[in-house]
Amino acid sequence: MTATPHKLWQFHGGLKLPDHKAESTGGPVVTPPLAERLILPLRQHIGQPAQACVQQGEHVFKGQIIARCDTYVGAHIHAPTSGRVVAIGDHPVPHPSGLSAPCITLEPDGKDDWGDCRMPPLGEDEAADPTTLRNRVREAGIVGLGGAAFPAAVKLNPRPNQAIDTLIVNGAECEPYITCDDMLMRTRAREIIAGLLLVQRTLGPARCLIGIEDNKPEALRAMTEALGGEEQDNIRIVALPSIYPTGGERQLIRILTGREVPSDGLPADVGVVCHNVATLAAIHRAVHHGEPLISRIVTVTGSGVRSPRNLQVPIGTPIAHLVAHAGGYTEAVERLIMGGPMMGFALPSDEVPIIKGGNCVLAAEAGEVSAPEPVMPCIRCGECVRVCPVRLLPQQLYWHTRAKDFDKAQDHNLFDCIECGCCAHVCPSNIPLVQYFRFAKNEIWAQERERQQADAARMRHELRRQRLEREKREKAERMNRKRQAPGGTSGAADAAKKAAVQAALERAQARKATQQDASKSDAS
């Protein structure tokens, strides 16, 4: 139950990068005071966005669900503290597009009052029931906290034909500068192990492998100590080589098991489920303490802040508040990035909030992170192919996406790209390859949405046409049956009408005759 020798495999490509980890790990994890306002985007996970279930001006308690997402791949959003909802509308959000999106803005009241919104802790027997555990994880709004933000409850519910024999705990944290998982493992290792044991009982894997890069000796030691009292011989901590992107899900599976996840498949298809260390700690908090996912550790680092550190902050905290509690900006700060230097993206301002998947804020000085340089033509050197960890042909994808030939891009497995940035990092022509690939993916998704909407509109039109034709046919059939019915209600009604008309005519004629007789009498 220690970092014992374990056979490791290799993935293709990758890079050995300066880690820049020490800058933010010199002190403890700090919990700053609450910000004046918290901004909670309604889309913080893969899948459909949540829908606000509170009104502007409403008072909410800490832990209260303020936006629901009842689709299978979805996650609720909870109030990180008690306070008043002051706005529901568009606000800048952390996204590569730099656009705004629907958000709930909460003004804390300073009481941090749970009311009756804290979920009751689950007992051991309850937590051992897979359905109960999945429901708790779902109700707590837990998503993958390694960056992907995939709803965690879905990973706890593999299909019947997916036999899970390996649970992998991802503590690699391979991207430079980011240290929030490292600090979590150092300071709250027992919470991670508690969450691991819950997931282990639910999935029933034969083994659990905890992968941690070898540049985190304190985390390796803390996790080993946390395992020391557990008689779990099928749990093993594995020290991994510090090669980027070891923490990628498919790359980690390859390193630890030698298995390759199919291009169009999922880890469960090869008998594996992966969870990030922070996700497991959140599962423990939800099950044993009744806490939904309302806060996380965020690394605030880079030469652009005076005191790089890790902060435990509520979801929705504006980045400006984080920077202020990391000593503030230096005079030379040039760029603000959400995430790390490889997979992160530039932010338009520091008013955007931290979301569930937000693990790092990088304030960079000039030259610290590769800045956009003049783009030159591709020279077909093949460096991007050499470093691609997914064995793609980035130069071919570049040509097809630049030409907007998205069909050929998909033929070259565009959606297998994990956007790790290795190709762009080594490109001598400074081509922003990942930006091209993200653009192509978004265009394909947009076209697919438009196609689905058009198909739905056609279906609605066709169903309406069929309904109108059916109603017209049924009406004609009813009328025909009435006409053909011998002595039916329709015939009797017609006869009655004719008799009434005839009687009226006869009465009119009688009155006319009477009037004529009276006229003759008066004349004589």
Q: What 3-state DSSP class applies to 236? A: strand
Task: Flag whether 180 is marked binding.
Answer: no
Task: Flag whether 388 is marked binding.
Answer: yes
Q: Spell out the residues 6+ positions from residue 180 whose beta carbon is closer than 8 angstroms to its own.
A: 173, 278, 296, 297, 298, 299, 310, 359, 360
As a whole number of angstroms, the distance between CA 280 and CA 169 comes to 8
Q: Which residue has the tokens 């803005």?
A: 105
63 with 114: CB under 8 angstroms? yes
Task: Flag whether 103 is marked binding.
Answer: no
As a whole number of angstroms, the distance between CA 42 and CA 356 comes to 11
Residue 147's CB: how many other CB atoms inside 10 A?
A: 18
Q: Spell out the residues 6+ positions from residue 63 whose beta carbon is closer than 8 angstroms to its own.
A: 78, 79, 114, 115, 117, 118, 119, 291, 292, 294
Q: Parallel, antiparallel, or unpaired: how do β-strands 166-171 and 207-213 relate?
A: parallel
Q: Three-state SS string across 347-382, please?
A: CCCCCCECCCCCCEEEEEECCCCCCCCCCCCCCCCC
Task: Flag whether 427 is marked binding.
Answer: yes
111 with 325: CB under 8 angstroms? no
361 with 300: CB under 8 angstroms? yes
CA separation (Å) from 153 to 43, 270, 400? 17, 19, 37
Q: Tell me the backbone φ, ψ of residue 399, rounded to 5 degrees.
A: -60, -45
As a whole number of angstroms, the distance between CA 468 and CA 279 comes to 53
80: closest CA among 45, 117, 51? 117
Taking phi over 0 as left and psi of -120 to 50 as alpha, with beta for the rest, 151 belongs to beta
Q: What 3-state DSSP class applies to 38? A: strand
DSSP for 172-215, written as a single string: ---STT--HHHHHHHH-HHHHHHHHHHHHHHH--SEEEEEEETT
Task: Flag whether 274 is marked binding.
Answer: no
71: closest CA among 56, 51, 91? 51
As a whole number of angstroms, the distance between CA 346 and CA 336 comes to 6
Task: Flag whether 208 is marked binding.
Answer: no
412: closest CA among 431, 425, 428, 399? 399
Q: Which residue has the tokens 């508690």?
A: 194
Annotated binding site for [4Fe-4S] cluster: 378, 381, 384, 388, 417, 420, 423, 427
Q: Which residues are annotated as a binding site?
A: 378, 381, 384, 388, 417, 420, 423, 427
